[in-house]
Structure 1
């Protein structure tokens, strides 16, 4: 067993902006179809089951191009408003 702490690499600002744009498009598509976007996105993140995301406006395909670890990193960073 090791006491070392693993370190995640930081997201490039361009990558973070792409994540935000994609997540916003997915959110909007879910909202337009009458779903609770936050609950659906959380369900997708936790399970990686793409059926939580509508196919409307190609949202399911878009979110599947996002790396889940990068998405979680960006969400935590923005929630805590850190650099």
Structure 2
């Protein structure tokens, strides 16, 4: 006899290796900023502090890419990396 699933909520999740994704995105954004003649570190820091996407160029889709990163997770990953954890 078939089980009745009509009262259950279906869940959906996408598992992604966030650390690798964040690193790849940052490298792509860094490269795009550098290609356009900006100081990539200053621009990325400006974005992280303000969440203002205009710090990031639209060149090579960099602005869209960086907005996919959760800033809190990025900051955590950066601190962990800096402290060698």
For Structure 1 versus Structure 2, the TM-score category normalised by the shorter chain is 0.7 to 0.9
1:33 alignment partner in structure 2: 36
TM-score normalised to structure 1 length: 0.81
- Alignment length (residue pairs): 71
Higher relative contact order, chain-length normalized (CA < 8 Å, sep 6+)? 1
1:79 alignment partner in structure 2: 82
2:63 to 43, 60, 66: 60
| Structure 1 residues 78 and 13: CA distance shift in structure 2, 3 A | farther
> Would you tell me which structure has more helix in proportion to its own residues?
1
Q: After the TM superposition, which segments of 4 or more aligned residues of structure 1 sit over 2 Å from their partners?
A: none
Tell me, in whole angstroms, the C-alpha distance in 2 between the residues paired with 1:57 and 1:21: 13
Runs of at least 5 residues in structure 2 that lack an aligned partner in the other structure: 1-14
Deviation at 1:13, TM superposition (A): 8.6
Deviation at 1:36, TM superposition (A): 0.3
Runs of at least 5 residues in structure 1 that lack an aligned partner in the other structure: 1-11
